[in-house]
Amino acid sequence: MQNEDFTIRPSGGGVGAFVENVDLSLGVTDQARDRLRQTLGEHGVLFFRDQTLTPDEHVTLAERFGTINVNRFFGAVESHPMIAEVRKEPDQQTNIGGGWHTDHSYDEEPAMGSILLARETPPTGGDTLFANMYAAYENLSDGLKQTLEGLKAVHSSRHVFGANSRYKQEGADLSDRFGNEAAATQDSVHPAVISHPISGKKALYVNPGFTLRFDGWTDAESAPLLQMLYAHAAKPEHTYRFQWAPGSIAFWDNRATWHYALNDYHGSRRLMHRITVEGGKLAA
């Protein structure tokens, strides 16, 4: 049967697993999809090598896991509006995703995850770091877990993608890759610790990219605790550094992980195709 005999190999780092002996261009059966979904929920991110998906096959694969979220802010691949283009040209200094974040936490129903496919990669550099929010929660003290119980956090898209975004304030060269700033009106409130929809495990759900403060707290009151949680979650023992090559895929779950695209390949081109899959409302 199509891709039902694949093997799972944990990354050996703090998060993620490699899926081997699979050709995703052949499609996935219901049985294979369900196994991949459960594995994604357990490990947070799935890594694939040497895949040869066309854009249409990329879309078909994503649709096996849910409805596609058409990105409001990224440029799209020509003729395939459901595929966002994550690109950096040799003469550009700023990359997309160059800091720890969780995609779409600003939405009331955050996206489940994304399937990112490498089309062109630099000779060196351009890796992506992933961090495990299950482990981040599990390795907190009992006292801090108790403190976080019942807390909610406020998330927003405005300061990242809006007219007064930090990128604009810093003069970043993203104008050809980001757009639609008037659509950056999303604000949401989610539990600071969620029960993961697939695994049922508890995961820390705040992130440096989109979280503003704890609900009912001021920015100043929130900052010390948030900064401590961010430093804790990004500890090396919670992370894995994925090295890309053309045909590599990372399929991550936003509810269980953070990610960080390293910007260490100035003078080289990097082109990735990303499809994001819708999720749902999160619960403590």
Task: State the catalytic residues.
Answer: 101, 103, 259, 274
The backbone torsions φ and ψ at residue 267, rounded to the nearest 5 degrees and listed phi first, read 95, -5
Around Cβ 257, how many Cβ atoms within 10 Å? 29
Q: How far apart are CA 257 and CA 90, in angstroms?
A: 29
Residue type present at position 193: V
- State in Å, rounded, how far the first CA of the chain is from the last one: 38
Tokens describing residue 247 = 């045909």
Contact in structure between 42 and 203 (CB atoms under 8 Å): no
CA atoms within 13 A on the CB side of 213: 8
Residue type present at position 188: S
**DSSP for 119-165?**
EE--SS---EEEEEHHHHHHTS-HHHHHHHTT-EEEEESHHHHSTT-
Largest CA distance in the chain: 56
Q: Which of 144, 118, 127, 123 is nearest to 226 (CA)?
A: 144
